[in-house]
Structure 1
Amino acid sequence: MLYLFLLAVSAFCDLQSLYGVGASSTALLGANKNIPYEASSSLYNPAMQNLYDKSQFNLGWIYATDNFDAPKDVVIENEYIGGSNTNNTGDVDTDVDDTNSLFLSSIFVFEKEGKKKSIGVHLSIPTEKLVGVETQSAYYPQYAMYFADTQRITLSGAYAWSPMDNLHLGVGFHFFMTTGSTIQTTLPASDNLNPRTSTVDIKLEVKPSIAPIFGLIWNPAESHFIGFNYVGERDAEMVFDANNNVNVLSSSPIPVNFEGSSSLYYDPEILSLGYSYQGLNWDFHASVDWERWSKFSGSSVVMKFDSDTSFEQFLESSDYDDILTPKVSAMYKSGKNEYIIGLGYRPTPVPEPEGNLNYLDSDRYMIGIGYGRLLDSTPLLSDNPSKFYIDMQMHSLKDKDVVKTGNDIGAPGYSIGGTTYTIGVSWNILL
């Protein structure tokens, strides 16, 4: 049974597919699904941890920041979204919080009934806050993959074994939270002769939920590896009921009741297929990830009003698209040194910003570089060998011009583009 726990940082897109976990994996862009270089890299494919001959411990840090193009002097409020009849214009702040996170990983390798098995443990700790979520209107221009703060909590687990010498399997789960609440309010009118108070009652529930993960690695010939892994959907949905009695505009209470829901963060269902070649001086990796975004429709709060009221919410269509993300990477090994480069292309799943809809994103080019150094011992800790990695990664969004007409939010138009930067270090120790 597994006891691998992951406390991870992520944007809407799962951290493993957007940035990576572990410096070597980040430099490789996650293209490696078959060959483990450090304990945390097994999070890409839980079967990978059973390729270790000895137990491992990994300590690391990751930092990510952004530099997005921002719409300037565009319509930010109009009558359609409850504003005034006059269209208000202004600049839009598209900056998102940086990510700072520490992580600890361990892989414990053992034998049972003559077969190798392994258990992994991973803990990632955001250094500024454990979770931060801010839902945004679908109409206000923001880069859609970053609505949820990149520092939030996820738990995962997996267990791996090898039924045959050339076949390795791993199964487990991702653990996440869903939220439900009930809000009951009374908003009466008041005057000096007959004072009455307003009241609010809130009931909040946070429930756990799990999504399965599965991994397989097949070694059909020496130096050649084929890997497959599956990650289930994680929709941290918030659902709430609002029951209101408003007695401000009339002498008798008017009930205004509605149900609301929103995805606080969303990680799609992912299927990955990868090939790796492990040579004396060179390792090569190639993979393709299929991400099922079509079940997601954005993070905006959806409201369903009671039929007795005259309120109604009109939502723009915001269906996301499934995507395929190809990645390739290579590692050159010279003595105790390792040099890494990774390349990838990620099409955007985000719907086009048409009408009043303004989810911003575009296809992106990804590049990662890294360096690893084998140490004969672990300074200040033990005589056990260890390996140090440092990496950098850059995502460059393709420039895209958006033209708006009339008084649509975002009119007369703006440009989408920008970059994200990631840097990480890790230290892997042989136990």
Structure 2
Amino acid sequence: MATTSRFSVRAMSLTIAALSTGTALPALASMGNIGTTYGVMPVDVATAQSLSMFNDQVSATYYNPASLTKDSRGELTTGVLHAEQELRSANPNADGDIVANSPSQHVLIGMKTNLGSITRYKHPIYLGFIAGVEKYGKELLAFNSQTSDTGQFLEYGREPLFLNIGGATPIWRGISAGLSFRVTLDATAQLDAVSTLGGETSRERLSVNAKPSLKSIFGTTVDLGETFCPDDGCFLDGWETALIYRTKSSAKTSVNSNIIVTQTIPDPGLSLTVATIDSFQPETYGLGVQYKGDGWRFGGSLEQQNWSELSHQFSNDSIKDQQSVPPSDRIKFDDILIPRVGAEYRFNETFAIRGGVAYEESPLASTRNPEINYLDTDKIIVGVGVSATYNRTRLLAYPIRMDLGYQYQQLQERDFTLVDYNGNETPVTADGDVQVFTGSITLKF
């Protein structure tokens, strides 16, 4: 039996290595993405996503595609994001308490253009996309799904490929609508081989497939002044509202292997099947409001995230394996409501400063989930940022904009009970600090 187990582990290791496209394990992936965990562009990071529903940059394809209509010019954006994490789990029976401290490092690129100019009707139709790739563009697929006896954090770590594409158009008097898609990967792998007892394989056959999965995002914006009093000024001037809906999404990986061991396991061989999910994002409803004055704006948003669905998703995850766990010990998630507020002030045509704050309650309801041992806490999020827009340059015909953003996340202390593979229980206190640094350059055209 020990020999059989060794061969099955070897088969699994070969297959996951192929799926990881050259990435060394562990990749420390998470149930999150940069859009919800930190923010995509510097404006989103700096305002703790409080004004993201109204931003006209390409990150609107994720937060609210309708906002692509707020600037008629085309746009090309590139940037970087670096997140430093120190996630702790204080354990009185162990030396040190740092569970994870590997950074998340993204290169970002996005573009927006008006496709309406190629039609006879000249009605504006804006198309945009934004992509973020881990390890500054070197890692397209970060994958690690595991159980743990020392604890693992739910949402932090390396983030897999972040890709959104969508479009928007004005509808009527200050009302715009947009539709975009979050692109995730459903990866499958099949490994067949014949092996000796010494582990030497022959007649190997490996196939790997990764197909895109599209999950929709709907968004609308309403300029209340332009909608209700377009000709004469009224008390609604300057007020804008936004509504968004994001369907749930996740990256899925399925691994199948079949190993024949000479003189030990005859044909059809040892079969091993694993199915798991990663980068889960819940069904989300959002409402945003902002007021724009002369060179300044303030606003906020409320997000309803339905994380309870993840409890059902894990029932089909063979690594998390919740079907074999007693109902009282199964991992549980709650739906949460996230409030965010922020403001921006423009000193002149060139310089602007912004900031925001958010409070995010943990969706993880259970503080004891044997073997998986997920950790997650409530978070206080604060961000600040600056931007500089140069309308005249020696080379470019259109403005160039540079943005910087910083965000600090404080993970509040929360008590958990870790349960190892032998059923031993250990009380721990989870907390942590996360710092995010990001910058971008945007060219208008």
TM-score bucket (shorter structure): 0.7 to 0.9
Question: TM-score normalised to the size of structure 1?
Answer: 0.80
| Residues in 1 aligned to 2:252 and 2:265: alpha-carbon distance in whole angstroms | 38
> 1:182 — aligned with what?
190
What's the CA shift string for 1:136-193, capped at 9, x where partnerless?
A: 215441112136x22x223321111112121101112222210223344556658xxx
> 2:19 — aligned with what?
none
> 1:53 — aligned with what?
72
Distance 1:401 1:408, change over 3 A: farther
Match of 2:174 among 166, 169, 177: 166
CA offset at residue 271 of structure 1?
1.8
CA offset at residue 259 of structure 1?
3.2
- 2:218 counterpart SS class: strand
What's the CA shift string for 1:278-334, capped at 9, x where partnerless?
A: 1113211211112222222487961699xxxxxx96585123222211111111222
> 1:12 — aligned with what?
31
CA offset at residue 414 of structure 1?
1.8
Question: 2:142 aligned with 1:129, yes or no?
Answer: no
CA offset at residue 385 of structure 1?
2.4
Tell me the number of residue pairs that the alignment of Structure 1 and Structure 2 aligns.
394
CA offset at residue 258 of structure 1?
4.6
| Residues in 1 aligned to 2:163 and 2:202: alpha-carbon distance in whole angstroms | 40
Match of 2:110 among 69, 81, 105: 105
Q: Which runs of 5+ in 1 are unaligned?
A: 1-9, 75-88, 306-311
Question: 2:64 aligned with 1:64, yes or no?
Answer: no
Contact conserved, 1:135 with 1:301, CA < 8 A, in 2? no
- 2:340 counterpart SS class: strand
Contact conserved, 1:92 with 1:141, CA < 8 A, in 2? no
| Residues in 2 aligned to 1:52 and 1:263: alpha-carbon distance in whole angstroms | 37
| Residues in 2 aligned to 1:405 and 1:141: alpha-carbon distance in whole angstroms | 9
2:87 aligned partner, one-letter code: F
Question: 2:378 aligned with 1:363, yes or no?
Answer: yes
| Residues in 1 aligned to 2:80 and 2:420: alpha-carbon distance in whole angstroms | 47
Q: Which runs of 5+ in 2 are unaligned?
A: 1-28, 226-236
> 1:7 — aligned with what?
none
Contact conserved, 2:151 with 2:418, CA < 8 A, in 1? no
What's the CA shift string for 1:322-359, capped at 9, x where partnerless?
A: 22111111112222332211010111122433163421
1:211 aligned partner, one-letter code: K
| Residues in 1 aligned to 2:33 and 2:320: alpha-carbon distance in whole angstroms | 29
CA offset at residue 93 of structure 1?
5.3
Question: TM-score normalised to the size of structure 2?
Answer: 0.77
2:437 aligned partner, one-letter code: I
Contact conserved, 1:139 with 1:409, CA < 8 A, in 2? no
| Residues in 2 aligned to 1:278 and 1:410: alpha-carbon distance in whole angstroms | 57
Match of 1:225 among 237, 240, 261: 240
- 1:412 counterpart SS class: strand
- Give the alignment of 1:325-336 within 5 angstroms: 325-336=338-349
CA offset at residue 57 of structure 1?
2.7
Aligned alpha-carbon RMSD (Å): 3.4
Q: Is the helix fraction higher in 1 or 2?
A: 2
- 2:124 counterpart SS class: strand
> 2:54 — aligned with what?
35
> 2:363 — aligned with what?
349
